[in-house]
Amino acid sequence: MPSGGAEGRAEVIATLSRLAHEQVVSSTTRDLLDAAEPLCDRLPADSDDAALIRVTRRDVDRARKLPADFVAERARAASQSIQVWREARPRNDFATFRPYLERMVEFARRTADYLGYTEHPYDALLDGYEPEMTSREVAALFAQLRDGTVPLLRAVVARASAVDAGVLRQEYAEEPVRRFALAIVRAFGYDLDRGRLDTSAHPFSTGFNRNDVRITTRYGRQSLGALFGAFHEAGHAMYSQGSAPSLERTPLAGGASNGIHESQSRLWENLVGRSRAFWQHAFPALQQHFPTQLRATDAEAFYRAVNRVEPSLIRVEADEVTYNLHIILRFELEQGLVAGAIAPQNLPEIWNAKMTEYLGVTPPADTDGVMQDIHWSGGLIGYFPSYTIGNVVSVQFFEAARRAHPDLVDRIRRGEFATLLGWLREHVHTHGRKFFPRDLLERATGTPLTPVPYLDYLRAKYHEIYGIQSRAG
């Protein structure tokens, strides 16, 4: 968008937000729901119709708590604030951004007040991204993760020289990277008759309906990062493409939560795309695309390179071990902001202190510190936990699929991804938003949300890569 268009777009988004809100809270919707609800008792709880009534009621109840003017005003402020962030971030200009951030934090607090909560205002926000989850649960999960991750990271950093990622720091032309990424996501099962792969400043996926779900990635001159961006976004897109046709154009189309969505992207990016089995299959083809750069490398060395762990400043570039520490930091800051315990003006200082404490790196500038993510600028507060929940759940799903198909990893090693996708389609994708994340997870895996499989996965993988002696307990 040309820079001049920001203000006009803010007005349009405010108007559309208001109109959409008005439809949801209208008396027509309410009357229809009131008439339908008594039928619920006669329907199986997992039927489409029962879920439609249940989920719509929840959406409507939530929306009715927010005045239409407030929704429009918040949307307009978010558009403006995002635009200011876009311009201020490259100039490392937190001072200009600060009043807009303060305003978005204030909107988040007012949102929580309108929505109501019993324990912490953060609960009201979190519930918008992770239905029926509380910050108490998140905090408990994150504490376990942190306690499991910090010693692992320390052990890995002590043996940093065990992995050489030099092979990745060469010149990789964009076009062959794109062709290879496209071939892989197609092999995963991303349907290109109902999708496409484009280039953008930051990778994303966006969908209009299950038959039009598009992804982007970004290309760096000295990076194969575009591959993992494409795998990640294809994971999101396959989830959307797999939503049952019967749910189209209803509130049930889409994904169960941001965390469940992220579980799909991380599963394909990491549990498949950064696995040894996958690169045993895919490396020869990549080598054909880059015979010069990859002449002296083999699948095993490449596997190790793409799994190099290194504490760094930027969340979206973080490896599997350090990623959740970035999220835990944001979760703690968000809770403080919403509760009023942290003032936005103190954020840069607190951010940098926590980065030093958790990751041992200190941002030299807010550009790569507190201003690195777009989320807060648009008022997305309460969203970050979903990323880590996604990591945790991705392993729970993968392990459940492997219990159903014990040869799953061998199949991946043969370039056969249909078994995995089929399991995900049946147990996750097809249900759209029908079930709360908690229920979906239980139905699919038989267990509630737990960090244990994720921590086991991390330890097994990185102990082996870095040659760390596992200790009992």
- Compute the least distance from the CB of residue 9 to its own copies, in Å: 7
- Give me the sign of the Cα torsion angle 113, 118, 119, 122: negative
Q: How far apart are CA 438 and CA 13, in angstroms?
A: 32
Q: Is the CB of 15 or the CB of 222 nearer to its own copies?
A: 15
- Compute the least distance from the CB of residue 290 to its own copies, in Å: 25
Please give the structure tokens belonging to residue 236.
């999101």
Question: Which one of 30, 146, 159, 194 is in contact with its own copies (CB under 8 A)?
Answer: 194
Which residue bears the tokens 């969203």?
Answer: 383
Q: Is the CB of 95 or the CB of 173 nearer to its own copies?
A: 173
Q: Is the CB of 3 or the CB of 118 nearer to its own copies?
A: 3
Is residue 7 part of the contact set for its own copies (CB under 8 A)?
A: yes
Residues 153-192 that bind its own copies (CB under 8 A): 191-192
Is residue 368 part of the contact set for its own copies (CB under 8 A)?
A: no
- Compute the least distance from the CB of residue 473 to its own copies, in Å: 51
Q: How far apart are CA 324 and CA 330, in angstroms?
A: 10
Tell me the site size for its own copies, rule CB under 8 A: 25
Question: Which one of 12, 32, 66, 168 is in contact with its own copies (CB under 8 A)?
Answer: 12
- Compute the least distance from the CB of residue 130 to its own copies, in Å: 27
List, in order, residues 6 or more apart from 287 with CB less than 8 Å away.
294, 295, 297
Is residue 9 part of the contact set for its own copies (CB under 8 A)?
A: yes
- Compute the least distance from the CB of residue 368 to its own copies, in Å: 27
Q: How far apart are CA 405 and CA 423, in angstroms?
A: 9
Residues 102-131 that bind its own copies (CB under 8 A): none
Where does this chain touch its own copies (CB under 8 A) — which range of 1-9, 107-115, 322-330, 352-360? 1-9
- 212 bridge partner residues: 209
Q: Is the CB of 196 or the CB of 463 nearer to its own copies?
A: 196
Please give the structure tokens belonging to residue 18.
């208001």
Site string for its own copies, 202-221 (x = CB under 8 A): ------xxxxx-x-------
Q: Is the CB of 208 or the CB of 221 nearer to its own copies?
A: 208
Residues 233-252 that bind its own copies (CB under 8 A): 248-249
- Residues with catalytic function: 233
Is residue 195 part of the contact set for its own copies (CB under 8 A)?
A: yes
Site string for its own copies, 249-278 (x = CB under 8 A): x-----------------------------
Q: How far apart are CA 188 and CA 182, in angstroms?
A: 10
Interface with its own copies by CB under 8 A: which residues? 1-5, 7-9, 11-12, 19, 191-196, 208-212, 214, 248-249
